[in-house]
A and B are shown apart, each in its own frame.
Chain A
Amino acid sequence: MIGFLAATPAERRLIPGGRLQGPTPYVIAIMMFVMVVIGAAGLALGSSARLVAAGVDNRYSVEIADGAAKAATAQALLAASPGVIAVRPVSEREMRKILQRWLGPAGAASDLPLPAIIDVDLAPNAPVAAIAMNIERQVPGARFVAHKDSLGPVLGAVRSLSWLALTLVLLIALATAAAVVLAARGTLDTHRSTIDVMHGIGATDDQVARLFQRKIALDALTGGTAGAVAAGVVLLLIAGGGSTWLADLTGGPLLGSRDVLLLALLPLAGTILATIVARMAVLKALRASL
């Protein structure tokens, strides 16, 4: 598969110029750096959304608007219901603390009426509808609320951001491909006289294209690896510092081994893309001649 990267010394001499000559490897390095960072952010957001969604998947709340008097009944009913794993009433202190974040000191005022809230964890196969119907019938004014419904808009936004990040990665990949096309055309123009001589002697388009795609592939591999390594260092620095709170918040690591493998494969994918694009650009240009 990578046989075209090997070349005899004579073939290497035909198109002079070592690796890291010209702007192409540097452009690819910068593009790869941005791709890996944005890709990592996208994957981390996706992981966060999955972790948060998994955390609230079987979590519900019973909200009783007019109060504490009915809370004990509701708690007893919930504890006796099939499929209920845990029942935890939210204390008034916790609720006032949350309210104070939004309302300021007024949130602590004793004349501000508070609902009773009971958090409930259900088993994955628990009869959710039956439990909800039972509690809402037995405790007038009670509402059985799924946490995932409350967090739905937030998770949707996070997932959208994740897709946006992956779309940006694709767009940067396209921009890289365009840069490679320009680089291939530039290299082709620079070596036009050599190509004309080779053609005149009987070289096939494939023989000529192999020389250029090899050069571009090495540039892409060098630049891509450098960019990915730099991005990796930056991500490790971020992961070692400020992002740990996010991992704590979501209850798990933001990038799994599969995500890391995916990011590590980006330079290889970039090299393959650059090689294919360069080959197509060179062959198209060569076909314009006899």
Chain B
Amino acid sequence: MGNAKLSTIVEFDRVGLRYGTGAEVLRDLDFQLARGGFYFLTGPSGAGKTSLLKLLYLAQRPTRGRIRLFDEELADAPREAMPAFRRRIGVIYQDFRLIRHLSAFDNVALPLRIAGADGADVEGPVREMLAWVGLADRASARPPTLSGGEQQRLAIARAVIARPELLVADEPTGNVDAEMAGRILHLLTALNRLGTTIIVATHDLSLIAATPGAQMVRLDNGALVDPTGSLRHPPLARQEQGR
């Protein structure tokens, strides 16, 4: 149990979320995610996947319950502490949210610059990352001039450039063809092998089938469907299991 606690990166304890005075969109979420794990978040449209991701990447606070992230309690964390948490999380938004007036290079460099890096500490890693996602020759291109797949890979490059401990992706293959989806999954798997915990919201069950060792988190009508209970007490991360 002690080892399992050490390997936990995210812990939800009876978490609920409602927007304004509306009905709860998430109810009694009670689960843990292991550090270094690869998770697919599935469920029908309107099940609350995006809301759950918003809680994970700190765009929302829960209206009830307790969230622990990186072994720290979020409920009592002041607003000023949020940037430090966010710098440890990479986010791939469904709509990419690239900054249209910045070049591909500047978009990818943004997390490093926000973290205080400049000069050679930015130039090398960004060039390397653009090459990793196959956009080395599009460094000076602005997002509106890139194809959907290129924008998706650019969003991934920006999300992972600062080597986040947790990567949250909302439908990262929703706007690309099957071949590009395979390439994106390959990138995410490679990142996971480097130790990043990955959470991908998707409708695409073929992605899950193509990712051995990944776990599925299923949401239905705002509640977690976890018949095996494995999310309440997750297995150790794969790296630790391999030791």
Q: Is A8 an interface residue (CB 8 A)?
A: yes
Q: Is B190 an interface residue (CB 8 A)?
A: no
- A6-33 CB mask vs B (1 if < 8 Å, else 0) is 0010110110100000000000000000
Nearest Cβ on chain B to A42's Cβ, whole angstroms: 44
Q: Is A98 an interface residue (CB 8 A)?
A: no
In the bound assembly, the distance between CA atoms of A172 and B84 in angstroms comes to: 41
A8 interface neighbour in B57, B98, B118, B158, Cβ under 8 Å: B118
- Once the chains bind, are A10 and B109 in contact (CB under 8 Å)? yes
Q: Number of A-B pairs whose CB atoms are under 8 Å?
A: 56
- A183-222 CB mask vs B (1 if < 8 Å, else 0) is 0000000000110111111111001000000000000000
- Once the chains bind, are A16 and B59 in contact (CB under 8 Å)? no
- Once the chains bind, are B79 and A287 in contact (CB under 8 Å)? yes
- Once the chains bind, are B110 and A196 in contact (CB under 8 Å)? no
- Once the chains bind, are A203 and B79 in contact (CB under 8 Å)? no
In the bound assembly, the distance between CA atoms of A10 and B109 in angstroms comes to: 9
- Once the chains bind, are B101 and A200 in contact (CB under 8 Å)? no
B residues in contact with A10, CB < 8 Å: 106, 109, 113, 118
A residues in contact with B57, CB < 8 Å: 200
Q: How many residues of A contact B (CB 8 A)?
A: 20
Nearest Cβ on chain A to B122's Cβ, whole angstroms: 8
A residues in contact with B87, CB < 8 Å: 201-202
Q: How many residues of B contact A (CB 8 A)?
A: 28
- Once the chains bind, are A202 and B86 in contact (CB under 8 Å)? yes
Q: Is B193 an interface residue (CB 8 A)?
A: no
Q: Which residue of B is nearest A204, CB measured?
A: B83
In the bound assembly, the distance between CA atoms of A194 and B101 in angstroms comes to: 10
- Once the chains bind, are B110 and A16 in contact (CB under 8 Å)? no
- Once the chains bind, are B84 and A200 in contact (CB under 8 Å)? no
- Once the chains bind, are A194 and B59 in contact (CB under 8 Å)? no
- Once the chains bind, are A290 and B110 in contact (CB under 8 Å)? no
A residues in contact with B111, CB < 8 Å: 201-202
